[in-house]
Amino acid sequence: MAPGEPFVEPTPVGSTRALAERTTDLLNALADRSTGASTITTILTRHGEIDPELDEEDVAALREVAVELRHVLAADTLEGTATRLNTLLAREARPPRLADHGGSHPWHLHADSDDEAPWDEWFAASTGLFLASLVSQRQRLPGGVCAARDCERVFVDTAHGSGRRYCSRRCATRTRVAAHRRARGRTS
């Protein structure tokens, strides 16, 4: 930390917030077809994976899972979300197990086949389990697609208040300002 720089508490690995950030970072990066293995490797490393090795085939498989997970977040009812998650988990998840990756991570749940499972299996099982946990704990949609015009980013809603509609404060503010200007008769 540089002198004068504020201390920012790191997000604990495995926390709800950390899993939400990992989920949205991966889903939004994978939505961009130009995103390659180096970018996904950087995201995985930033979110606690140690020396992840991916190639373009891994990214293509992750992208297929990302499309399915985006459909989960795009569902507009709890029943729709639950149906999509149950389908994903029935296909991808294995019996839950605790893992610490040889002591390199704190103990956490895994629902993939083993520590060497393919990246797409890991992503589908771990993210499906995380989103299912959010639904069961909060009894509401786990996230959504940004409601801002011209934004297709997804978000995971970890707030305890009313549900989110936007991926970021920037999109929410931009939408409010545009609505205010329209109401006052200005379009720019």
Any idea which residue has 């205010």 for tokens? 180
Question: How many distinct structural domains can be found in the chain?
Answer: 1
Any idea which residue has 């959010």 for tokens? 134
Q: Is residue 185 a part of any domain in this protein?
A: no
Judged against a pLDDT cut of 60, whether residue 33 lies above it is answered with yes
| Ranges 4-13, 92-101, 108-117, 123-132, most confident | 123-132
Counting Cβ atoms within 10 Å, is residue 134 exposed (0-12), middle (13-18) or buried (19+)? Answer: buried
Judged against a pLDDT cut of 70, whether residue 8 lies above it is answered with no
**Amino acid identity at 138:** R
**CATH number, residue 132:** 1.10.3300.10
Q: Is residue 167 a part of any domain in this protein?
A: no
The distance from CA 70 to its chain's CA centroid, rounded to whole angstroms, is 9
Contact residues for 15 (Cβ-Cβ < 8 A; gap 6+)? none
Judged against a pLDDT cut of 80, whether residue 74 lies above it is answered with yes
- Report d(CA 112, CA 123) in Å as an integer: 9
Contacts 24+ apart (CB under 8 A), 132-138: 132/85, 132/89, 134/16, 134/158, 135/78, 135/81, 135/82, 135/85
Whole-angstrom Cα Rg for the chain: 18
Q: Is residue 109 a part of any domain in this protein?
A: yes
Any idea which residue has 């995103």 for tokens? 35
User: From start to end of 4-120, where are the E strands?
Assistant: 97-99, 108-110
Q: Is residue 188 a part of any domain in this protein?
A: no
The distance from CA 84 to its chain's CA centroid, rounded to whole angstroms, is 16
Q: Is residue 169 a part of any domain in this protein?
A: no
Closest Cα partner for 87 from 71, 109, 104? Answer: 71
Judged against a pLDDT cut of 70, whether residue 1 lies above it is answered with no
Q: Is residue 9 a part of any domain in this protein?
A: no
Q: What is the pLDDT of residue 109?
A: 87
Calculate mean pLDDT across residues 145-171: 90
**For residue 104, what are the domain limits?**
16-143
Q: Is residue 148 a part of any domain in this protein?
A: no
Please, what is the end-to-end C-alpha distance for the chain in angstroms?
41
Q: Is residue 116 a part of any domain in this protein?
A: yes
